[in-house]
Amino acid sequence: MEVIVAKTAGFCFGVKRAVEKVYEQIENGKKPIYTYGPIIHNEEVVRDLSEKGVGVIDTKEDLAALKEGVVVIRSHGVGKEIYDILEGNGVEIVDATCPFVKKIHNIVAEQSAAGRHVIIVGDAKHPEVQGIRGWGDANTKVIDSYEEFENLAISPKVQLCLVAQTTFNYNKFQELVEKISRTSYDINVLNTICNATQERQVEAKKVASQVEVMLVIGGKHSSNTQKLYEICQKECKNTYYIQTIGDLNPECISSACNVGITAGASTPNNIIEEVHTNVRVKF
């Protein structure tokens, strides 16, 4: 059996940096350590950190009640309000926000201050998007389709700025931009999709088109992994979304001559290697 592993599979720069910052705090061991939300969308990593004493704070209310310790801001980033809460309580902040996400924060703050209405293309429920929105104002909105844009019913006289969630589907973003650009709005379009995300999606599509079975590895709450799965499924009908090798049904690949593997940006290399080894050796 031939097994093709995407070169771009696994931790991206921002996720790797965030995880390393938490482990650095563990080594320092001077204060209680917390992350605001899971540091990444991977249950295996979060479980390991929990076993090492790292707590997860999920709500603003719990964060506001914290009076000591270190809080690591995850790679997804947070809104300005969260920094204000932590600084007001004198809690130490370790900012692991991905630099590409931080760039969007700055854009949203600047464009909002300049009077433009910012439109974020992405998943309104995703923590990255919620954090980005937290640097805007009441006119900052989130959409993931042209229909949602139309439903905003924004006056044609309003100046707009369009940005994207870093892990949004590149082709879908381009299609949306083309449609909105045909309108009469004065619009400033900034493609803020991470290059690593785009490369990962392009390579996943290519690998999926060459194999009989495609395996997409990642946490069940990972937005970028979900998008990889959707892209691969269009190219290979036998595409399976797994978190670890334990989720793989052997029957799914037993008769395949070739298998492709890709993984989301929050998937550790050891999990990818374990899947690769088991597929290559056992099947």
Catalytic sites, residue numbers: 128
| Cα 39 from Cα 48, distance rounded (Å) | 11
Euclidean distance between CA atoms 117 and 12, whole angstroms? 31
CA 87/CA 185 separation, integer angstroms: 39
CA dist 245 and 275 (Å) reads 5
90 exposed, middle or buried (CB, 10 Å; 0-12, 13-18, 19+)?
exposed
Task: Find all residues with CB under 8 Å of 46, minimum gap 6, and list them.
Answer: 38, 39, 40, 56
- Contacting residues for 131 by C-beta, under 8 A, at least 6 apart: 76, 77, 78, 79, 82, 97, 101, 105
Answer whether 9's CB lies under 8 Å from 267's CB: yes
